[in-house]
């Protein structure tokens, strides 16, 4: 029997509970994946309605969390992230309605081939199975991800931040009550405590995907401690390479947007690689614009020679998350690409240039999840890409990559429908395959 047990850990109460949670999720998954698209749509609408009706109880639970001395002692910005308000709640409800009315992602036919007369092969999408979401702060993540899991036919295990334990419990209670007529009672389960997360991360046979939402440190820790595929990114060290052929005013506007529009975002610009031939013209103007925008410039020795006030960069693999912009002078597009290869995180890297050969060399050499030509790195986002709902941004090379929509929560299977054909006549050459692509 396919075992979910993790050897040598079963004396720990968290391990025993994790095993139970995963077993329940596996049972629920089996029921959940048999729901039809219309059933999942109805369940999503019921979820949205219940979250609207129980909004007062959920807000009250959130107030209880916010009044805890452990929370009142946190920085104000953190407290704001923990707080649910009607202004934050309405987009969650709107998002669930939108999701309910999106096309059913499950059972889509990706490829169809007639192998031979009466022998038809389809590659179809289907739910991954069991998702584990681990999120910090922002309790509005839970209903959003529960909606995505439901739409895609998956079951969910969720671990929220301890600061909003009461809020998370209230939301979970609401979800379970509302969806009892539609789903298996364990289609969504919440767990608490770090030890529990550790125990769950060992269940690579029972959990199909981990989605971490939180600090770089948290994501890195999860990636380093599990064999379950992780959908996410530890850091976003994004670059723009400014070639001498790029127009000054337009390129400057893109650099400022990429750095300042939301500096804390993972797709914000960290390092500008500037063609040394145009640096003497560009950098003084950039310095002037940066000063007005509140940007702190840092750079390489060559940059310092042109902008003496600039501090020296000692570590290029850095995600500042603030208004710091590092500048490096490079002689060629090859040098720019080598820098991106060595110090980037394969999240989003772009070029600013009019010269076609240089653009083509950049596109041939840079294999980041998003590669941009003449536009701001801040466009790297599931909603901006038109993916509908965004599940996250992934920098892993397998499974989903870059901004990820519902497709990231799906796997595929091959369905072959025949008329009692056997392999033997094909193996001995008596019959041969047509392999005709269909529709």
Which residue lies nearer to a copy of itself by CB, 160 or 350? 350
254 binds a copy of itself (CB under 8 A): yes
C-alpha to C-alpha distances, 344 to 113, 189, 266, 270, 313, nearest whole angstrom: 41, 37, 12, 10, 15
Q: For 260-263, which contacts have Cβ atoms below 8 Å and span 24 or more sequence positions?
A: 260/293, 260/294, 260/295, 260/323, 261/376, 261/378, 262/378, 263/320, 263/321, 263/322, 263/323
Q: What is the footprint of a copy of itself within residues 198-217 (CB under 8 A)?
A: 208-209
**Cβ 29 to a copy of itself, closest distance in Å?**
9
Q: Report the C-alpha dihedral over residues 163, 169, 170, 171, rounded to 10 degrees.
A: 90
Residue pair 368/346 in contact by the 8 Å Cβ criterion: yes
Other C-beta atoms lying within 10 Å of the C-beta of residue 223: 17
Contact range with a copy of itself by CB under 8 A, out of 47-55, 86-94, 293-301, 343-351: 343-351
Q: What is the footprint of a copy of itself within residues 301-320 (CB under 8 A)?
A: 316-317
Contact range with a copy of itself by CB under 8 A, out of 86-94, 165-173, 180-188, 253-261: 253-261
**Cβ 332 to a copy of itself, closest distance in Å?**
14
Per CB under 8 A, the list member of 247, 284, 294, 301 interacting with a copy of itself is: 247
Q: What is the footprint of a copy of itself within residues 258-277 (CB under 8 A)?
A: 261-262
Total binding residues for a copy of itself by CB under 8 A?
79
194 binds a copy of itself (CB under 8 A): no
Residue 436 phi, psi dihedral angles, 5° rounding: -95, 120
**Cβ 159 to a copy of itself, closest distance in Å?**
21
Other C-beta atoms lying within 10 Å of the C-beta of residue 48: 22
Which residue lies nearer to a copy of itself by CB, 76 or 342? 342
DSSP string, 4-22: ---TT-TTSHHHHHHHHHH
**Cβ 419 to a copy of itself, closest distance in Å?**
6
Question: Which residues have C-beta within 8 Å of that of residue 116, sequence separation ≥ 6?
Answer: 421, 426, 431, 432, 433, 434
Other C-beta atoms lying within 10 Å of the C-beta of residue 227: 11
Regarding beta strands 296-299 and 130-135, do their DSSP bridges make them parallel or antiparallel, or are they unpaired? unpaired
Q: What is the footprint of a copy of itself within residues 360-379 (CB under 8 A)?
A: 363-365, 367-376, 378-379
Per CB under 8 A, the list member of 274, 380, 391, 406 interacting with a copy of itself is: 380
149 binds a copy of itself (CB under 8 A): no
182 binds a copy of itself (CB under 8 A): no
Q: What is the footprint of a copy of itself within residues 85-114 (CB under 8 A)?
A: 113
């Amino acid at each position: 029997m396919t075992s979910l047990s993790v050897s040598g850990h079963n004396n720990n109460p968290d391990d025993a509970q994790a095993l139970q949670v995963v077993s329940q999720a596996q049972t629920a998954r089996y029921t959940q994946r048999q729901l039809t698209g219309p059933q999942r749509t109805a369940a999503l609408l019921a979820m949205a309605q219940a979250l609207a009706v129980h909004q007062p109880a959920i807000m009250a639970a959130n107030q209880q969390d916010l009044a805890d001395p452990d929370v009142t002692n946190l920085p104000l910005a953190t407290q704001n992230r923990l707080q649910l308000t009607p202004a934050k709640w309405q987009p969650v409800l709107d998002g669930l309605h939108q999701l309910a009315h999106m096309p059913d992602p499950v059972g889509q036919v990706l490829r169809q081939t007639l192998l031979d007369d009466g022998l038809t092969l389809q590659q179809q999408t289907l739910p991954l199975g069991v998702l584990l979401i681990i999120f910090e702060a922002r309790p509005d993540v839970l209903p959003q991800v529960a909606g995505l899991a439901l739409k895609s036919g998956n079951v969910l295990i969720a671990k929220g931040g301890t600061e909003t334990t009461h809020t998370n419990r209230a939301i979970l209670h609401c979800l379970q009550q509302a969806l009892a007529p539609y789903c298996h009672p364990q289609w969504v389960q919440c767990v608490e405590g770090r030890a529990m997360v550790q125990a769950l991360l060992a269940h690579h046979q029972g959990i199909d995907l981990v989605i971490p939402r939180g600090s770089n440190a948290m994501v890195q820790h999860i990636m380093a401690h599990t064999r379950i595929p992780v959908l996410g990114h530890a850091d976003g060290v994004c670059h723009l390479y400014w070639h001498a052929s790029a127009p000054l005013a337009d390129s400057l506007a893109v650099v400022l947007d990429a750095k300042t529009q939301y500096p804390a975002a993972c797709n914000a610009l960290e390092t500008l690689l500037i063609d040394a031939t145009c640096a003497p013209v560009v950098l003084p103007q950039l310095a002037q614009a940066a000063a007005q925008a509140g940007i702190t410039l840092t750079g390489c020795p060559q940059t310092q020679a042109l902008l003496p006030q600039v501090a020296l960069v000692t570590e290029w693999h850095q995600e500042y998350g603030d208004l710091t912009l590092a500048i490096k002078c490079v002689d060629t597009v090859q040098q720019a690409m080598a820098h991106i290869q060595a110090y980037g995180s394969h999240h989003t890297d772009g070029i600013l240039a009019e010269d076609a050969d240089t653009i083509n060399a950049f596109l041939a050499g840079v294999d980041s999840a998003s590669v941009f030509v003449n536009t701001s790195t801040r466009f790297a986002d599931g909603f901006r890409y038109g993916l509908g709902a965004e599940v996250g941004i992934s920098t892993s090379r397998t499974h989903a990559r870059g901004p990820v929509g519902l497709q990231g929560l799906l796997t595929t299977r091959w369905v072959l429908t025949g008329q009692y054909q056997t392999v033997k006549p094909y193996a001995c050459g008596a019959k041969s395959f047509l392999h005709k692509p269909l529709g």
